Chain A
Amino acid sequence: MKWVRNLLDNMKPNFQKGGKFPWLHSTFDAFETFAFVPKTTTTSGAHFRDALDMKRTMTMVILALMPALLFGTYNIGFQHFHSINPELSFFEGFWDNLWYGVIKILPIIVVSYVVGLSIEFGFAQWRKHDVNEGFLVTGMLIPMVMPPDVPLWQVALATAFAVVIGKEVFGGTGMNFLNPALLARAFLFFAFPSSMSGDNVWIAEKADAFSGATPLAEMMVGANLPSTSFWDMFLGIMPGSIGETSSIAILLGAAFLLITGIGSWRITLSVFIGGALMGLTFNLFGSNPYTQIPFYYHYVMGGFMFGAVFMATDPVTAAQTNRGKWIYGILIGAMAVLIRVVNPAYPEGMMLAILLLNVFAPLIDYYVVDANIRKRVKRWKIKGGQNV
């Protein structure tokens, strides 16, 4: 690591006042603080030091995403060859599958990062403030919520839209009220429905004869149970968005996030509870096959698990108070299942449910805080208005 430090130290004078490129200093700072924790401390006011600054937090999330990303990469390849030869078993042609997946996913990741980061750096230079690190995670989440065959220019457009309209107009990382990665997906979903929905987009270069319907789509048209078994869906051997298919890989990431304390366990848990509650309600009152499936099927189909672990827990757009997090999570889970089962236009409800609750999160927080204040005023009055 020593040579990185030396390299940075040699370059540093160029970017400081009086150097060759003083206007690029925030770009330089971004790379320097990415490699090394800054030594400077705040000089006034109350502050505390934590080894886990924002850049390190983001890196942790990226690490947590890795199992799902690797599985997704392999699954792209497997689904492709499986659609050509339905007899193929999961580990047959391992390296072919993996290589095919890498070829498919790398361009999407590159496009997402290049477009997003250039906009972020451009805005930081223009506004003369530091480069925000928020895009590090967003840039990885965007490819993972895309179908494998998505055209690259659409990824670029969606990323630009999400970063500019979703984030920069509100003041950058930490100010956005919608999850940027989901916003990118929602943009594509409404702008180019033919590349984001239907039975033909979830398997890369699918053979025409193969059906290619996701379990969600099968349930939508009235199947009793998805043709993929529960355990296959749990493992992730099914067509779908790149990162969303494998519940087990996502749960590995979830365990990492929850143990390190970066993701909020309250949100993740309450999303699952909300989904279960709504699923059980449908079991009681429902009349068609979709309403009768066991609630845990909802967890493993589509993007429920991915959304619960990586999207709903986004600390910026989620509710901030602890009680608010419970309400927020339960409503997301319930809303996602509700949209899936009841609305015939949207097979997957997770994206819309999270975006909706993102909008409501500040309101939830407001009422949680308000209720707490009223409770304490009441207690104070009962005790005779004395300070106790």
Chain B
Amino acid sequence: MAGFNFKLIKNPLSKENPITVQVLGICSALAVTAKLQPAVVMAISVTVVVAFSNLIISYLRNTIPPRIRIIVQLVIVSLLVILVDQVLKAFVYDVSKQLSVFVGLIITNCIVMGRLEAFAMSNKPFDSFLDGIGNGLGYAVILITLGVVRELFGSGSLWGYQIIPDSFYEMGYQNNSLMIMPPMALILVGIIIWVHRARNKDLCEK
């Protein structure tokens, strides 16, 4: 087994973040982050799928004929997604209901296909697994940030528990319903990208 390459996990968290730098997986980031709980569940599911599909494809990479590699990748990814979907339905049915079609759509999540093509097809299994974990965590960081901000300001709660006290509402505070709508998630992602690039000048395009 090759050495534990820590960079594979660390880089996707910031400099190679799948959402803010590679700009992949935006649709699900906008769709499932109105509340924190679905965002966390979605982040875990995607991490599991990316990590294990990376691992399996990496083991198979020398036996897959290049012309049908996308089909093979899709079969494995859909297998994992169905597993995840069944687990969610069995243990967290409510959240599974909220995520609805978006669990199934992990199959088409660009992060999964992107990592398979860009990394797993040309790297060793353990490295690919780490890369999958890293990218899943990078996705998770953004999703959880969005989920926290959107649920806190949009519904006044976190994980379903009310955070903003009633006395605030009596003083005239109101929940921001724009936060619950997907456009605001896009604006928030934009702000995150703005801050991120302002702090890492080497990411700015010329």
Chain A interfacial positions (CB closer than 8 Å to B): 151, 153-154, 165, 169, 187, 190-195
Query: What does the 1/0 interface line of B179-206 toward A look like (CB < 8 Å)?
Result: 1010000010011001000000000000
CB distance from B151 to the nearest CB of A (A): 15
CB distance from B34 to the nearest CB of A (A): 14
Judge whether B181 and A190 touch: CB under 8 Å: yes
Does B178 make an interface contact (CB < 8 A)?
yes
Judge whether B177 and A190 touch: CB under 8 Å: yes
Does B174 make an interface contact (CB < 8 A)?
yes
Write the chain A residue with the least CB distance to B179: A191
Q: Which of A153, A169, A191, A195 contacts B178 (CB 8 A)?
A: A191
CB<8 Å pairs between A and B, sample of 18: A151-B172, A151-B174, A154-B174, A165-B191, A169-B190, A169-B194, A187-B178, A190-B177, A190-B178, A190-B181, A191-B176, A191-B177, A191-B178, A192-B174, A192-B176, A192-B177, A193-B177, A195-B174
Chain B interface size band reads 10 to 19
A153 and B187 CA atoms in complex are apart in Å by 21
A195 and B173 CA atoms in complex are apart in Å by 11
- B178: chain A residues within 8 A (beta carbon): 187, 190-191
- B181: chain A residues within 8 A (beta carbon): 190
CB distance from A345 to the nearest CB of B (A): 13
A194 and B176 CA atoms in complex are apart in Å by 11
A169 and B174 CA atoms in complex are apart in Å by 26
A165 and B177 CA atoms in complex are apart in Å by 18
Chain B interfacial positions (CB closer than 8 Å to A): 172-174, 176-179, 181, 187, 190-191, 194
A192 and B175 CA atoms in complex are apart in Å by 7
- B179: chain A residues within 8 A (beta carbon): 191
CB distance from B177 to the nearest CB of A (A): 6
A191 and B190 CA atoms in complex are apart in Å by 18
A190 and B154 CA atoms in complex are apart in Å by 12
CB distance from B168 to the nearest CB of A (A): 11
- A169: chain B residues within 8 A (beta carbon): 190, 194
- A190: chain B residues within 8 A (beta carbon): 177-178, 181
CB distance from A143 to the nearest CB of B (A): 18
- B190: chain A residues within 8 A (beta carbon): 169
A187 and B177 CA atoms in complex are apart in Å by 10
CB distance from B164 to the nearest CB of A (A): 14
- A187: chain B residues within 8 A (beta carbon): 178
A10 and B179 CA atoms in complex are apart in Å by 49
| Of A154, A190, A191, A194, most B-chain CB atoms within 10 Å | A191
A153 and B190 CA atoms in complex are apart in Å by 24
Judge whether B176 and A165 touch: CB under 8 Å: no
CB distance from A194 to the nearest CB of B (A): 7
CB distance from A158 to the nearest CB of B (A): 10
- A165: chain B residues within 8 A (beta carbon): 187, 191
- B194: chain A residues within 8 A (beta carbon): 169
A194 and B172 CA atoms in complex are apart in Å by 12
A191 and B150 CA atoms in complex are apart in Å by 12
- A154: chain B residues within 8 A (beta carbon): 174
A195 and B174 CA atoms in complex are apart in Å by 9
Judge whether A194 and B187 touch: CB under 8 Å: no
A154 and B153 CA atoms in complex are apart in Å by 13
Write the chain B residue with the least CB distance to A164: B191
Write the chain A residue with the least CB distance to B191: A165
Write the chain B residue with the least CB distance to A191: B178
- B187: chain A residues within 8 A (beta carbon): 165
CB distance from B149 to the nearest CB of A (A): 14
The 5 A-B residue pairs with the shortest CB-CB distance in the complex, in nearest-first order: A191-B178, A190-B178, A191-B176, A192-B174, A151-B172
A288 and B42 CA atoms in complex are apart in Å by 47
- B177: chain A residues within 8 A (beta carbon): 190-193
